[in-house]
Amino acid sequence: MNRDLSLLQPYPFEKLTALKAEVTPPADLEHIALSIGEPKHPAPPFVAECLINNIDKLANYPTTKGLPELREAIANWCSRRFNLNEGTLSAEDNVLPVNGTREAIFAFTQAAVNRAPDALVISPNPFYQIYEGAAYLAGAEPYYLNCLADNNFIPDYDAVPEEVWQRCQLLFLCSPSNPTGAVTNLETLKKLIELSDKYDFIVASDECYSEIYLDEENAPVGLLQACAELGRDDYKNCVVMHSLSKRSNLPGLRSGFVAGDAALLKPFLSYRTYHGCSMPIQHQLASIAAWGDEDHVLDNRDQYRHKFDAVIRILEPVMDVQHPDASFYLWAKTPIADDKFAQGLFASQNVTVLPGRYLSRETEGKLPGAGFVRMALVATVEECVEAANRIREYVESL
């Protein structure tokens, strides 16, 4: 077996399961899970209808590159959403459908990293653990950039040593961030593009939470948008990952895309052809329908907005909680150690949250996720309000 498999750490939810197994929750309280970022809002009915109407496509092999109509729908959506210069994001050359961002992140890393003893893959810390595992299995070393409250949970890129940039082959961004909800601003994105030019590394931006934001007048910016503002219409060394899972409440559809530099996507397509991960045709047709509609996305944001307002109103008197820039996560500071908090909350209130330490690695003497828990406000408004009241009762009991 691949010896690098031994480098993989248990997934955060494995650690959470072990933590919860040490205690017993009250049987008279129904369990409420705020730990997993699985959207619970209803899927758009027209997407389900499209799947049903095209169920006969089960008889057809899909192509790895996907339907031209899907790539065109994605290119049109991305160009509108991020104000790209007209005609610069080619459906033929700059877009590739994928089976969700998780699969895309892992696969792209395998294709992008040129194995070398000093290869680095840089990621934020705390982080989505796929960045780390993908780096190890591509033969690279992960390098973590701490995301701390005093810098609004964005890495301090100016503090990164030059030797690290020289070794960097791939830089992961996550904006809006999982778990903090922080959004990387346009100025910082442009700075990273300049660093990419200077040191010749790829910038890969995981933007799967970009359509869940609280201020309709302040949508999160994206990496390709920064390219467009710089007149970088070839998107050199830049790719973005997007998904319908969060935007359209379709995690089971496993539908997303990678877009950006055609010179990177061409060899990535070759990798994927061998990988054998083409999207089913009926899923592609349903995805075309989803990317073409914004009404359900607006309604989705409204629901999250109501939940954040209600939950923060309940928790604010007893916890340090703030509205995030975007995403559906509440990154809440805990009055005691985050793992003890999560365990105690489950034991007394049957509510599950994810300890922040499970999402980070100790770097420079700091464990940036420690002292926080991630709450995914994915359940109904009523369930989120009930969970918030139970959390408040638990905090007041400490």
What are 178's two structure tokens?
Answer: 């999982």
**What pLDDT sits at residue 386?**
98
pLDDT in tens, 126-163: 999 999 999 999 999 999 999 999 999 999 999 999 99
Q: Is 217 left (phi over 0), alpha (psi -120 to 50) or beta?
A: alpha
168: confidence class by pLDDT, cuts 50, 70, 90: very high
Strand 351-352 to 32-33 pairing: parallel
CATH architecture, range 3-42+296-397: Alpha-Beta Complex (3.90)
pLDDT in tens, 173-188: 999 999 999 999 999 9
Average pLDDT of the chain is 96
Distance from the first to the final alpha carbon of the chain? 47
pLDDT in tens, 221-231: 999 999 999 99
- For residue 283, the tally of other CB atoms under 10 A from its CB is 26
Do residues 135 and 325 lie in contact, with contact meaning Cβ atoms separated by under 8 Å?
A: no
The mean per-residue pLDDT over the stretch 291-311 comes to 97
pLDDT in tens, 84-136: 999 999 999 999 999 999 999 999 999 999 999 999 999 999 999 999 999 99
Residue 44 has pLDDT above 90, yes or no: yes
Residue 276 has pLDDT above 90, yes or no: no
Residues of the chain with CATH 3.40.640.10: 56-293
**What pLDDT sits at residue 82?**
98
Per cent of the chain over pLDDT 90 is 98
Residues with Cβ within 8 Å of residue 117, at least 6 apart in sequence: none
- Give the predicted TM-score (pTM) of the model: 0.95
pLDDT in tens, 378-395: 999 999 999 999 999 999
**What pLDDT sits at residue 347?**
98
CATH of domain 56-293: 3.40.640.10
Q: What Å distances lie between residue 179 and 154, 373, 376, CA to CA? A: 12, 9, 9
Q: What is the largest CA-CA distance in the chain?
A: 60
Residue 46 has pLDDT above 90, yes or no: yes
Residues of the chain with CATH 3.90.1150.10: 3-42+296-397
Task: Name the residue type at position 246.
Answer: K
Do residues 188 and 157 lie in contact, with contact meaning Cβ atoms separated by under 8 Å?
A: yes
The mean per-residue pLDDT over the stretch 313-321 comes to 97
